[in-house]
Structure 1
Amino acid sequence: MFFKKKESYITAYTDGTIIPISEVKDEVFSQKMMGDGLAIYPESDTIYAPCDGIITAVFEQTQHAVGITMENGMEILLHVGLDTVNLHEPIFHTHVKKDEAVKQGQTLITYDKEALAALGYSDVTMCVILSNGNTKEVELLKETKAVANKTNIIRYK
């Protein structure tokens, strides 16, 4: 008897409009140099954990990005904005620390949308799959509207 491996999902990490990562106006992301994924133009100022996992990276200086490793070894990066690594202003606040266990839906990052826009930065937020870990299949779903913690954006087995 064969057992079909259960499908699991990564959920939307913020409310907004989903676009293919290839449409992000930054070559590192659009050319998938770090990995495949997708992006959301956020309607809110909060980024949530799209899955359970361990925080494996926090960009301490700017607090604009976090890395999560899931139990199956899949690694994802959530990165808020384009060129935000260059910011010197305290726009972002990370609510987690490296090596902390997180649950899907937990707040990871909050930020000042208006201040970021006033400085001329986009807050498009990428979810990049850095490593598939032990997963056999990964599929980016074709949703266009994201509801944080509800919309499934990536299916994996």
Structure 2
Amino acid sequence: MFFKKKTHSLKAYADGQLLSIEKVNDEVFSKKMMGDGVAIRPANGTVVAPCDGVISVVFEPTYHAIGITMDNQMEVLLHIGLDTVNLKEPIFQCKVKKGQRISCGDVLVTYDENQLKSMNVDNITMCVITSQGQAKDVTFAPEGKVMAGMDDILTYK
């Protein structure tokens, strides 16, 4: 007997507008130098987990990026904003720590979006697949409005 492989998904990690990663105004992301993925132009300053997994990386001291390793060994990197690695002010409040098991929808990072705007920092937030692990047939969702924890941003088998 043949069984259809079950399809899994990553959910939106922020409320906002889902965009193709090629539209990000940074060649590291738009040229997929770190890996393929998507971007969301956030409507607010809350970033949630797009999947279940373990926090594998927390970029300190800025907390602008979080890495997650899923049980299928897929690794994703959530990167908040452009050039945020250079920030000196404590903008991002990290709600998780390395090694912590998280569930889809758990709050990872919060920030004051108005403070970023006042500093002329673009808050576009990328989700990059840094390792596909055992996932197969990765398909990205079409561009459009998404709600955190609700809408699929990609599917895989």
- Which TM class, normalised by the smaller chain length? over 0.9
CA distance in 1, matches of 2:32, 2:16: 22
CA distance in 1, matches of 2:61, 2:143: 33
CA displacement at 1:112 relative to structure 2: 1.1
Deviation track 1:28-65 (CA, whole Å, cap 9, x = no partner) reads 00000000001000001100000000000001110111
CA distance in 2, matches of 1:29, 1:105: 24
User: Is the 8 Å Cα contact of residues 18 and 41 (structure 2) preserved in structure 1?
Assistant: yes
CA distance in 2, matches of 1:83, 1:143: 24
Runs of 4+ in 1 over 6 A off after TM superposition: none
CA displacement at 1:143 relative to structure 2: 4.0
TM-score (norm 1): 0.98
SS in structure 2 of the partner of residue 123 of structure 1: coil
- Count of aligned residue pairs for this structure pair: 157
TM-score (norm 2): 0.98
Query: What amino acid maps onto 2:50 in structure 1?
Result: P
CA distance in 2, matches of 1:72, 1:33: 23
CA displacement at 1:107 relative to structure 2: 0.2
CA displacement at 1:27 relative to structure 2: 0.5
Question: Which residue matches 1:53?
Answer: 53
Question: Which residue matches 2:65?
Answer: 65
Q: How does 1:145-156 map to 2 (within 5 A)?
A: 145-156=145-156
User: What is the identity percentage for the equivalent residue pairs of Structure 1 and Structure 2?
Assistant: 54
User: Is the 8 Å Cα contact of residues 139 and 156 (structure 2) preserved in structure 1?
Assistant: yes
Q: Is 1:43 the counterpart of 2:43 in the alignment?
A: yes
Question: Which residue matches 1:28?
Answer: 28
Question: Which residue matches 1:120?
Answer: 120
CA displacement at 1:135 relative to structure 2: 1.0
Question: Which residue matches 1:5?
Answer: 5
SS in structure 1 of the partner of residue 73 of structure 2: coil
Query: What amino acid maps onto 2:33 in structure 1?
Result: M
Question: Which residue matches 1:106?
Answer: 106
**What value does the CA root-mean-square deviation take over the aligned residues?**
0.6
User: Is the 8 Å Cα contact of residues 78 and 128 (structure 2) preserved in structure 1?
Assistant: yes
CA distance in 2, matches of 1:136, 1:147: 25
Question: Which residue matches 2:136?
Answer: 136
CA distance in 2, matches of 1:135, 1:125: 23
Query: What amino acid maps onto 2:73 in structure 1?
Result: G
CA displacement at 1:2 relative to structure 2: 1.4
